[in-house]
Amino acid sequence: MTAPDVEATPSPLVDVDQERHARFRASFEAVTDFGRRLLAARLAAAGVLPAAGTTAGRDEILARLAVASGYQRLGDALLDLLERADLLRRRDDRLAVTERAAEAAGLASDDVVDATATALRREHPEAAGYVPLLVACQTQLVEVVRGDRPANEVLFPGGSADMVAAIYRDNVQLDFYNRLCAARVQQHVRQFLRRYPRSFAQVMEVGAGTGGTTGPVLDALADRAERLRYFYTDVGPAFLRLGRQRFGVTRPHVDFARYNVEGAPEDQGFEPGSMEVVLASNVLHATLRISAALRHCHALLKPGGILVVNEMTSRLDYNTLTFGLAEGWWRHADDEPRLAASPLLDVAGWRAALGRAGFVDVQAHAVPGLDASEQVQTMFVATAAGPGGSSR
């Protein structure tokens, strides 16, 4: 029998409240569908979609949307999304708006959007944190894709990360994956320190961002702090300042340093083969070439060390409607294998990419109790092969 693509997480490692997670999934879908209808209403109001009773060719619609360079992939993805959501329908080779799109037309008004968003947050507290970002992105989408407003002004208004951070707060799904990462890093560090009690374990986190995963990981490692060196790294200096404020004051074993995973460690002051664990949570999809990023992670690790990758492994319309506004979401190289209309890889894609980068014993963990087709996120643990291709 071949190994399944995603194994249910062994429950002693990390558990999830199944009922709460089911509520979250239903709520997340309700929020996403609001976003799809909002997109249709705003594009119709901007004269981008064909008027009721008429049709338009795909290229014609894209020309009316007038996307700036850097947003072609988003333009295509939005039309695909509207078709899949039955807001646009094919008639011969052309597209027409549907009844469902006509029903959503009221969402062209900001007052209707505010009232609908308030009701949605009340009815779906499990996914309420996703609503403000979606509203901000969809009500300003046309300006952003035309290059009239920088995406960062929409995603991070006034330079604040609060709207994005609201998604991460008390989120049953993201919490589960963060705890899973923490449990796996903890397990590996403990094993290493049991074997070499006089040594130091070095752990490097790439793309640590605002530290959403770092917090649970550092907590899980707190009782080994005196034998630990933890590198909190990111390509963005602003994140290092945030990290230092949040984690630096009380934790002398944490170092903050700039590291771009698209470049080799030795060119950025990091010794190859020096880490027991490299952790990359929701970052590697953002790179130009995942293959190169994985090679650099491999180069950082000692033979037998592990790479922990936490990634979305399924395209979600919510992400297209929000993070899709960031040009960086679409910046991957043309010849990179990614899931259609997204920068992501699926589980098989990650397994293949990890194997090509020299990793062995790749394990994939996801939420227990769900079918593989229902999983949207996966945590991979992959071992850096030694010189002879073996793990420790």
Please identify, using beta-carbon distances, which residue of 235 and 353 lies nearer to ligand SAM: 235
For the chain, strand residue ranges (E) read 7-8, 88-91, 94-97, 201-206, 228-234, 254-258, 275-281, 301-312, 359-366, 377-384
Site residues for ligand SAM per CB under 6 A = 206-209, 212-213, 234-236, 239, 260-262, 281-283, 286-287
Q: Which residue is nearest to ligand SAM (CB)?
A: 209
Task: Name the residue nearer to ligand SAM (CB basis): 235 or 357.
Answer: 235
Tell me how far, at minimum, the Cβ of 234 lies from ligand SAM, in Å.
5
Min CB(207)–ligand SAM separation in Å = 3
Q: How far is the CB of 283 from ligand SAM (least distance, A)?
A: 4
Distance CA 362, CA 371 (A): 20
- Whole-number minimum distance, CB 126 to ligand SAM, in Å? 19
Q: How far is the CB of 218 from ligand SAM (least distance, A)?
A: 13
- On whether the CB atoms of residues 102 and 358 are closer than 8 A, the answer is no
Closest CB to ligand SAM among 35 and 343? 343
Nearer to ligand SAM, 152 or 260 (CB): 260
Axis crossing angle, helix 172-195 with helix 18-45, rounded to the nearest 10: 130
Residue 230 pairs in a beta bridge with 203, 254
Cβ contacts of 245 within 8 Å, gap of 6 or more: none
Residue 62 Cβ vs ligand SAM, minimum distance, rounded to whole Å: 28
User: 239 vs 318, which CB is nearer to ligand SAM?
Assistant: 239
Which backbone phi and psi does 3 adopt, to 5 degrees?
Answer: -70, 140
Which structure tokens are listed for 241?
């300042």
117 vs 217, which CB is nearer to ligand SAM?
217
**Helix %, strand %, coil % of the chain (to 5):** 50, 15, 30
How far apart CA 163 and CA 126 sit, in angstroms, is 16
